[in-house]
Structure formats: structure tokens, C-alpha cells
């Protein structure tokens, strides 16, 4: 909905931090943190490399 309403276009702080929280063989958990949101990513290693299997997010505002 936010994208459809042209939200998120004016970014005052475009910095994004990436944290790899855990890696166990072919699975991993990571976070991306920016000024407005935290994304929680579940990753799976496939024959084609690491792929995002699931994303959850929360607003910091």
C-alpha cells in the first residue's frame, strides 16, 4: 500500500545496515536496519546460491 501511494520516495537517511545473526550449514538468519524499518530475513543456500526464503518487517516509527 505504501508503495502504491508513492510513500518512501523521500529518504532523509538512506543508510542500511546488514547483520548476519546466525548461519547453520544451509540456512541463515539476517537483519537489515534502516531509519524506518527492520527487515528479518530467513535465507536458504541452494545450488544457485543464497536465496531469501521469508521476510518479516517492523516499523521503527
**CA-to-CA distance for 58 and 39, rounded, in angstroms?**
7
Residue 61 confidence (pLDDT): 79
Mean pLDDT of the chain: 89
Residue 2 has pLDDT above 90, yes or no: no
Query: 11-40 pLDDT, tens per residue?
Result: 666 799 999 999 999 999 999 999 889 999
Spatial CA neighbour of 16 closest among 41, 44, 40, 35:
35
8 Cα distance to chain centroid: 15
Residue 9 has pLDDT above 90, yes or no: no
Residue 1 has pLDDT above 70, yes or no: no
**Contacts of residue 5, Cβ cutoff 8 Å, sequence gap at least 6:** none
Q: What are the angstrom distances between the C-alpha of 39 and each of 19, 20, 36, 59?
A: 10, 12, 10, 9
Amino acid at each position: 500500500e505504501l508503495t502504491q501511494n508513492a510513500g518512501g520516495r523521500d529518504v532523509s537517511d538512506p543508510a542500511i545496515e546488514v547483520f548476519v545473526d546466525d548461519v547453520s550449514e544451509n540456512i541463515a538468519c539476517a537483519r537489515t536496519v534502516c531509519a524506518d524499518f527492520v527487515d528479518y530475513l530467513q535465507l536458504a543456500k541452494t545450488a544457485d546460491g543464497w536465496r531469501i526464503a521469508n521476510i518479516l518487517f517492523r516499523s521503527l516509527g
